[in-house]
Structure 1
């Protein structure tokens, strides 16, 4: 007989309390009822879309929001690779969406697939399911299922949300152009079915639903096509404005044209429409958790693989920069023993998700994982010690014609860079010798590059601290390197 909700909550609390330990320590013995994890990962969602997502806002009310959560690279494949493994791009080998330094093939050939949070939790007895977008270059027609997944519903080039194929546990299934074929709705329904089945079997589970929305071409469900009439893109102080002392890759961008502004406004409205299905899906998944009697023993996690700029810094539509609109994205977690309605300012990254999921499930975390479990922050809160610096690594410019994220100078095509971001500043080193430094306490929108005015000793310190993070390869080493001045 299934346990009562009160019993489930008690068991989950015991698990969480036992897991308040550093990522390098031995995992606690799992309780009789290990907690479940539902992870919703969206594509290219910037913070400015959350205002149009009432169910994500409800999740924030019920849980904890991390306000300084950054990705290791504002690009789909490298960011997702970091999420799966808990490693920086310099350790996954995935810096781009394809070619010799990125994409699904590089991720797989470097052995990353055997060392993910899915393989770790499956080894702990979890049922695991993946639904939606995997990594750039993955082809459903190959009927390949990565290790670690009990159930697999993987898509390839399904950005249009209709007329796509899914590899459904080794069978290729085609979806057409009817309302019922809309991809976000399809994976949402499959996710609810998975929850229902695993709860009925009294089996702990991990579910990741990875949507293509709101990635371009920004395709809403048909029922949402009339939403938000007249909506336009938000204008921050960075809108249509170059930073002082801009780097070469950006300095040539002139003011946005009337046509560009019109397109930005149209596409922002389409993005707001596209996330309505995601928002409904989150509500449906949470309703299913309640109906199945496992809501009090389940962590629900919402995040994005990267942000997205639309007119900021005189860039039209894109990502890949080290500016906050691209690298700082939502991370919201609700679940057993997680404080409700709380914001945490600590510097956390997507490399922290894998060790967090593994800790919650009682799985060990390997010493070569770069990230750190967030369980101490979820339960210990403001007093928990934490790193002070995050690392962003990017290879560019990317020009592959078949890359869904290909950009030109107008979208933003930065050269290769590494960046260090703390709560108060952003420091960027480009491979052509250029630098940017923004004091975000006085310049939150990154409009005044003051690197030239820094002292020689400060420049040396910044370089050394960034270099230490770029060259860290272990949990302990990256934790130490992440404590910067």
Structure 2
């Protein structure tokens, strides 16, 4: 009988050892923001060194790896998140613009992690509509969500939580780590902040932060694009003409503000949010802004001086929102250490795309130009990733799902289109790593009037096709990093441009992008652009 039980005992020992090994697989903490441009992170740029906007994120970079060439596939909120969920380009996951609805029944990496024995949770901004699938616990903002006293959708229904959104989402994540997870299983926790999305409403404690600092202006603040980029002449995202004094910059904005007659698309979410704020919150708000508004009215600015004032107000509010995020990163990292989870947890910081911070006179994103295309990606993996390391390899949000699965020692499905970043995080330098990335933006005609376009970016060059208008742009990023000189009509670059058109066709075929890229009739082109120019900025109350 002793010999009969020996194989059973041996089998049980093997299973126990296997389970024990599985239990030691790394936890994943994914901290994700909305519209956080890399050049607003100290570890990426010294542009804001006197402001020191992100000490906690910078510390994370010093303890891990920073990716210098991290790009999105489609620079808009919902589609970026859909790509991360699926590891597939927008044309494959079905979520190409913010008007689409995400099919939660499709394959996603959280579902695969669940099957592999991971606990999964998400708190904050989902922006994919519908109830999240693949998560053991979740609470997500409906749509864009609110900065103050936000609603959240949970498995038990909608709730309203008093407080500031960044703090609330962080509190939920900390509570999960301390009280809700199964300590015998690895976890994948997604902490997804609304900040610093428009309308850039800071926490009450940060309303006067940076008042004594002058933010450095970008060199291209007054760029006018007349001789360079045809598509850029028709956009609607200028700080000068399209950033609203009342709704975007809070001049004289109160809960009972009288709404001017609408004449163009304007984001009024801050005004609507004020109508839900508590008396204490409203008082703190007006106590902070009223003196600044009075000084603005007294100055009676116009022309470039007014643009400069708008830039300062905008950037300070944007960076104040980021300060809340940076504090959240610190709290989450401290919680991991408090719970002795830090040595076996990968901490990743990223955002859904880049953002214009006055570059070229703009705000927002959407373009394939660098400020919009680049997204931060910082990863700390104790014992695996060398502290203070930097990768120059080209990566995309297309790679996140594959990376999470690889970390969990889980097979990566063949239909995913990215590749795992684990070899890079381990310090390896694969010779077969991609030499180019593909981009495709679909939301037109729509807010900000950025035309549909696709393109290819190599390590040095970028080719963009605004296909509905049959307009092309080509840039040498080495000699022209700010993309001020469109070389498409330059005969000296004809051969190089033709080579990149071939590369673009090849990468389109590689990713099987069969979406409509036809040139529109000339009548349609003139009508759509004329309708955009016919809209005038909304009246602003000074």
Deviations 1:428-465 (A, max 9, x none): 11111111111111111111111222544433321121
1:60–1:333 CA contact under 8 A, matched in 2: yes
* Aligned residue in 2 for 1:471: 509
Within 1, Cα distance between the matches of 2:327 and 2:61? 15
* Aligned residue in 2 for 1:130: 122
Deviations 1:135-184 (A, max 9, x none): 25x2xxxxx532210001111145431132112232321123xxxx1111
SS of 1:146 mapped into structure 2: coil
Residue in structure 2 matching 1:165, options 151, 155, 167 = 151
* Aligned residue in 1 for 2:34: 43
* Aligned residue in 1 for 2:91: 90
- Alpha-carbon shift at residue 263 of structure 1 (Å): 1.9
* Aligned residue in 1 for 2:341: 294
* Aligned residue in 2 for 1:311: 358
1:325 correspondence with 2:317: no
1:232–1:268 CA contact under 8 A, matched in 2: no
Within 1, Cα distance between the matches of 2:132 and 2:21? 26
Q: 1:429 to 1:206 in 2, by over 3 A?
A: same
Q: How does 1:202-213 map to 2 (within 5 A)?
A: 202-213=184-195
Residue in structure 2 matching 1:442, options 436, 457, 479 = 479
5+ residue gaps in structure 1? 1-28, 139-143, 400-405, 408-412, 475-485
Q: 1:398 to 1:357 in 2, by over 3 A?
A: farther
SS of 1:452 mapped into structure 2: coil
1:41–1:210 CA contact under 8 A, matched in 2: yes
SS of 1:37 mapped into structure 2: strand
Within 2, Cα distance between the matches of 1:165 and 1:342? 40
- Alpha-carbon shift at residue 199 of structure 1 (Å): 6.3
* Aligned residue in 2 for 1:425: 461
Within 2, Cα distance between the matches of 1:195 and 1:302? 17
TM-score of the superposed pair, with normalisation by structure 1: 0.81
Within 1, Cα distance between the matches of 2:136 and 2:149? 26
Within 1, Cα distance between the matches of 2:95 and 2:165? 27
Q: How does 1:358-437 map to 2 (within 5 A)?
A: 358-382=405-429, 385-399=432-446, 406-407=447-448, 413-431=449-467, 432-437=469-474
Q: 1:398 to 1:131 in 2, by over 3 A?
A: farther
* Aligned residue in 2 for 1:153: 139
2:218–2:358 CA contact under 8 A, matched in 1: no
Equivalent residue pairs, number: 415
- Alpha-carbon shift at residue 252 of structure 1 (Å): 6.0
Deviations 1:315-342 (A, max 9, x none): 3x21111111111121000013011111
- Alpha-carbon shift at residue 423 of structure 1 (Å): 2.3
Deviations 1:48-83 (A, max 9, x none): 321311000000000000000000111101111111
Q: 1:260 to 1:172 in 2, by over 3 A?
A: same
* Aligned residue in 1 for 2:381: 335
- Alpha-carbon shift at residue 261 of structure 1 (Å): 3.2
SS of 1:310 mapped into structure 2: coil
Within 1, Cα distance between the matches of 2:323 and 2:222? 28
* Aligned residue in 2 for 1:263: 310
Deviates more, 1:218-227 or 1:457-466: 457-466
Within 1, Cα distance between the matches of 2:152 and 2:406? 31
Deviations 1:351-374 (A, max 9, x none): 000100011012221111110000
- Max Rg structure: 2
Within 2, Cα distance between the matches of 1:245 and 1:53? 37
1:458 correspondence with 2:449: no
Q: 1:238 to 1:30 in 2, by over 3 A?
A: farther
1:188 correspondence with 2:224: no
